[in-house]
Amino acid sequence: MRIALASGDGIGPEIMAATLDLFRAAGVDRHVEFVPVEMGKSVFEKGNTRGMTDEAVRVVEDCGLLFKGPMETPKGGGGKSINVTARKIWSAFANYRHFRSLPGVKTPFSHLDLDFAIVRENVEDTYGGIEHRMSDDVTVCKRVISAPGSDEVMRFAFEAARRSGITLVHCGHKANIMKLTDGMFLERFKAIAAGYPEITTGDVIVDALCMNLVMKPKQYRMVILPNLQGDIVSDLAAGLVGGLGFAPSANIGSNISIFEAVHGTAPDIAGKGIANPTALVLSGLMMLRHIGLVRHAAAIENALLSALEGGVRTGDFGDPQRPVLGTADFIKGIAARLGSEPRTVKPAAVPAGGADAVTARPPVRPAGPVVMHTFTGLRKEIVGVDMYLDGKLSAAATAAMLERTCEGSPFRLSLISCRGTQVWPRGSVFTECVDYWRARFEVRDGATVGQQEAVQLVGKVAQEHVVTEYALLRTFDGVRGFSMAQGQ
């Protein structure tokens, strides 16, 4: 099996070299060939804004697996994070993070012996980075949540739960506020959960989830979250078990999966040989299990647990009475314990029927782009159009102009809102407004319209106003596909 290998920037090369030493000592390279690829800072510096060479892309797509160190995102200049790019272009739709209390890693929560997982949707949400400046004073980011995208991450999570014997799965969300986007995420959670009757499910609003994770973390075994909320909650969870040095992650896709530590390039300690490689080792163990090397993974994990238990540590954690080791010596301390098992915590076990050979296969290149569907053939009816206007006039003055504009058309102006709050025809004089308005036009009683009439109205409004964006208001099988304004 070939695995593409990108060591990363900053502390990346140090922790990657150490991790591979440990894997070699455990015999992993008898089953796996690591193929180096060029990604990250050195590629950005050559003016390649994607941060990866074409050859790197080809190798990753041929292998289907990428083991990567942290990579620096160029600051400013519009350069996108290579880490997010990799997850998105290769559709690594589920970010799986496993959190457990480790021996020798003291936190205020260590005594609880935590063991839980966060599955974060990894491709959609605000991470599309679809952002626009709409007016002098307003910027906007589009949040995309799709039914097939949600279904994929839900299915992955429930399958992972079933495989690991997890019988309690929650969905974290904010569907009380974002009724359509988070509402769809939660609805798909419930729909997919129905196929796993042996698993108990629940849902929790994300702010309450954060509090519960600090107050009573043991009540969760697996939580599935949309991208941004999952990003934040999973760092909170990392804090419960010892911080970034101990937070591994797997970015799982149908064809290509990426394994990396959660932390960044740690520029403050790069080149000093003192970084903690544990998170990368743990990410590598997720990868070994993913490809079927479950015995190797268990042996390395038990050596790591036994070393941590014995006080082997880098400078960022552990018993201050024990000597601080550099990255390479820390790994030697683990390698020396291969074949041992921890005494104070449950050793890693090989699941019944677990293989000791690679079972994963490289991906088959699809003939063209893959288009996914969850729903097809819903009956869609246009009931109005929202237009977003960049303007300095008051809501009342704007409304007077817009009402004149739509006279004689099949639409009537039904509301104006600012920052989501209705300010016309009703509102409060205390509502503070900015220079970006949403004008909602609804189809007059008895009229039927198509997209053509809606676009004609946009054209008419644009003669007097700057229309930065419009959105059709539609029903889907009779269900409203747009939100109400606050105060409506």
> Is residue 257 within the footprint of ligand NAI (CB under 6 A)?
no
Confirm or reject binding of residue 209 to ligand NAI (CB under 6 A): no
Give whichever of 7 and 422 is closer to ligand NAI, judged by the CB atom. Answer: 7
What is the SS3 assignment for 135?
A: coil
Site string for ligand NAI, 4-43 (x = CB under 6 A): -------x--------------------------------
> Measured between alpha carbons, how far is 409 from 444 in angstroms, rounded to an integer?
9
Least CB distance from residue 75 to ligand NAI, whole Å? 7
In Å, how far are 45, 85, 244, 246, 319 from 105, measured between CA atoms? 38, 33, 12, 9, 8
**Smallest distance from the beta carbon of 275 to ligand NAI, in angstroms?**
4
Does 263 engage in binding with ligand NAI (CB under 6 A)? yes
Using CB under 6 A as the binding rule, whether residue 316 contacts ligand NAI is answered as: yes
Q: Report how far residue 322's alpha carbon sits from residue 35's, in angstroms, rounded to the nearest whole number.
A: 37
Q: Dig out the tokens for 175 from the structure.
A: 């569907």
Judged by CB under 6 A, the residue of 5, 23, 60, 72 near ligand NAI is: 72
Q: Tell me how far, at minimum, the Cβ of 263 lies from ligand NAI, in Å.
A: 3
- Should residue 85 be labelled a site residue for ligand NAI when binding is judged by CB under 6 A? no
Q: Which of 51, 64, 70, 226 binds ligand NAI (CB under 6 A)?
A: 70
Least distance CB 155 / ligand NAI (angstroms): 25
- Within 264-303, which residues bind ligand NAI (CB under 6 A)? 264-269, 275-276, 279
Dihedral sign (CA 14, 18, 24, 26): negative
Question: Which residue is associated with the tokens 């106003």?
Answer: 465
Nearer to ligand NAI by Cβ, of 246 and 441: the residue is 246
DSSP per position, 228-250: HHHHHHHHHHHHHTT-GGG-EEE
Report the residue number, 126 or 374, with the smaller CB distance to ligand NAI.
126
Give residue 353's identity as a one-letter amino acid code.
G
- Here's the x/- map for ligand NAI, 353-382, by CB under 6 A: it reads as ------------------------------
Are 305 and 342 in contact by the 8 Å Cβ rule? The answer is yes
Q: Round to whole Å and give the CA distance between 164 and 111.
A: 23
CB of 67 to ligand NAI, least distance (A): 12
Least distance (Å) between residue 419 CB and ligand NAI: 30
Q: By CB under 6 A, how many residues form the interface with ligand NAI?
A: 20
Sequence-ordered list of residues with C-beta below 8 angstroms from that of 79, at least 6 positions apart, any chain? 44, 49, 51, 73
* Nearest residue to ligand NAI on Cβ basis: 264
73 binds ligand NAI (CB under 6 A): yes
Q: Per rule CB under 6 A, is residue 313 in the interface with ligand NAI?
A: no
CA 44, CA 79: separation in Å to the nearest integer? 9
**Residues 237, 210, 119: CA angle, nearest 5 degrees:** 50
Instruction: Tell me the C-alpha distance between 392 and 433, whole Å.
Output: 10
The gap from C-alpha 99 to its chain's centroid, in whole angstroms, comes to 16
Q: Which residues fall within 8 angstroms of residue 143, CB to CB, at 6 or more apart?
A: 125, 126, 128, 178, 181
Angle among Cα 70, 86, 278 to the nearest 5 degrees reads 30
Q: What are phi and psi for residue 114, nearest 5 degrees?
A: -75, 150
Q: Is 95 in the site for ligand NAI (CB under 6 A)?
A: no
Q: Is 86 in the site for ligand NAI (CB under 6 A)?
A: no
Q: Which stretch binds ligand NAI (CB under 6 A): 167-175, 209-217, 259-267, 418-426?
A: 259-267
Q: Does 71 bind ligand NAI (CB under 6 A)?
A: yes
- Rule CB under 6 A: is residue 170 a binding residue for ligand NAI? no
Query: Residue 231 interacts with ligand NAI (CB under 6 A)?
Result: no
Interface with ligand NAI includes 125 (CB under 6 A)? no
Residue with Cβ nearer ligand NAI (263 or 290):
263
Rounded Cα–Cα distance for residues 338 and 342 (Å):
11
Check if the beta carbon of residue 390 is closer than 8 Å to that of residue 137. no
Give me the residues that bind ligand NAI (CB under 6 A), please.
Answer: 11, 70-73, 83, 244-245, 260, 263-269, 275-276, 279, 316
